[in-house]
Structure 1
């Protein structure tokens, strides 16, 4: 499993290519040769870049869903809509397909942000807006998600 660290700003060229930040390229070096999957995010207007190993682990879970249940079939179709296999080229560039650029509202200025084992790719303005919108609620969210009851988990 890859655990990525960092948030970096970069630019996309006219063809939709971005130069992968050196820090991410170093962190991804063990999995660069395997390729990546780029997809639409579920909850935000951004893209998610999965190292192939991480994508395959996720697909193992999804493959366990019963395709004869309509909601499962609908989920799989929506989850995999626009999914692309991509590579980082020898120059360190990643080409973002036009349909995914359109989905994420990507212009020239980008933010690449680690999200544990994947990289989120955002239009810079949309990233800053998303961070600002959740800033007031983050303490409450952190408590709800990570604020374990001391009596049950033994942490003091």
Structure 2
């Protein structure tokens, strides 16, 4: 559903304009309603169409709180989630708290992950690219190595 990446600007109010090619899919999937939260592993935000969010949130919520790592994951992923509504110009208002959490200022990268988007600050995205550079096929998990690209 969502693929590719786009370099975008946040406006002075912290609104992120979704590229036209993705707006219809977001409208069709959830009437423009989405949920934005802190990515569970990386220094970025995850933007889910509402139905996709409901599915993953139920899975995470069903995990046992007996493990401190699970409690942390729930606080980071579920506890920081905010519901968003796309405005008439195809924009989402990114709350200040989430922008500050990942250092999102003026420039952002919107990265499609099929069922969701990642929203990175431009500098964090570049650091991530520099960190991994070229992927080492031999270092990838066996499940990935079996894929035929």
Q: What TM-score do you get using the length of structure 2 for normalisation?
A: 0.86
Point out where structure 2 has 5 or more consecutive residues left out of the alignment.
none
Instruction: Provide the rounded CA distance (Å) in 2 between the counterparts of 1:131 and 1:144.
Output: 22
Point out where structure 1 has 5 or more consecutive residues left out of the alignment.
150-154
Q: Is the 8 A contact 1:40 1:81 kept in 2?
A: no
Give the equivalent residue in structure 2 for 1:85.
83
Say if 1:10 and 1:98 are closer, same or farther in 2 by CA, change over 3 A: same
Show structure 1 runs of 4+ deviating over 4 A. Answer: none
Alpha-carbon displacement from aligned partner over 1:53-94 (angstroms, at most 9, x marks no partner): 111111221232234x25344432232232100111111111
Please give the residue correspondences for 1:49-128 in structure 2 after superposition, counting only pairs within 5 Å.
49-67=47-65, 69-71=66-68, 72-128=70-126
Give the equivalent residue in structure 2 for 1:8.
6
Give the equivalent residue in structure 2 for 1:42.
40
Q: Which has the larger radius of gyration?
A: 1
Q: What TM-score do you get using the length of structure 1 for normalisation?
A: 0.83
How many residues of Structure 1 are paired with residues of Structure 2 in the alignment?
Answer: 147
Instruction: Provide the rounded CA distance (Å) in 2 between the counterparts of 1:21 and 1:40.
Output: 21
